[in-house]
Amino acid sequence: DETLVVMVGEFGRTPKLGGNVGTPSYVPDGRDHWAGVFFAMFAGAGVRGGQVIGTSDEIAAYPASSPFYPSNLGATIFESLGVDPRTLITDRLKRQLPMSEGEIIAPLYTGVAT
């Protein structure tokens, strides 16, 4: 149980079918990129299986509960590797920045959504 497996898309899809540029709007030609909601699947490394964390609104456009962000994903992965997400690193401009400013996605391990 030392390996964390993560599958995530960098964006979701628009909640409604629509027309792309140059296509009449009444021709449903698919879905475009949508940053409002997206999915991630986790397994291993102490993750409690068989759960769904968070919900979207009735048209899958925006989070309705337990929103998490890419920074939370990074913090969770660093933590699973035994690296404190708040560890400071120095960028090319000599600034000290945390590896991640996100919070660990605790419900993955506790099974309790916040």
**Domain locations in the chain?**
5-110
pTM: 0.77
Contact 73, 39 (CB under 8 A): no
* CA–CA gap between residue 108 and residue 42 (Å, rounded): 8
107 contacts: CB under 8 Å, gap ≥ 6: 51, 53, 66, 113, 114
Query: The tokens of 90 are what?
Result: 């120095």
For 27-86, write each residue's pLDDT tens digit: 666 677 788 888 899 999 999 999 999 899 998 889 998 899 999 999 999 999 899 999
pLDDT of residue 110: 87
Residue 103 half-sphere exposure toward CB, CA atoms < 13 A = 8
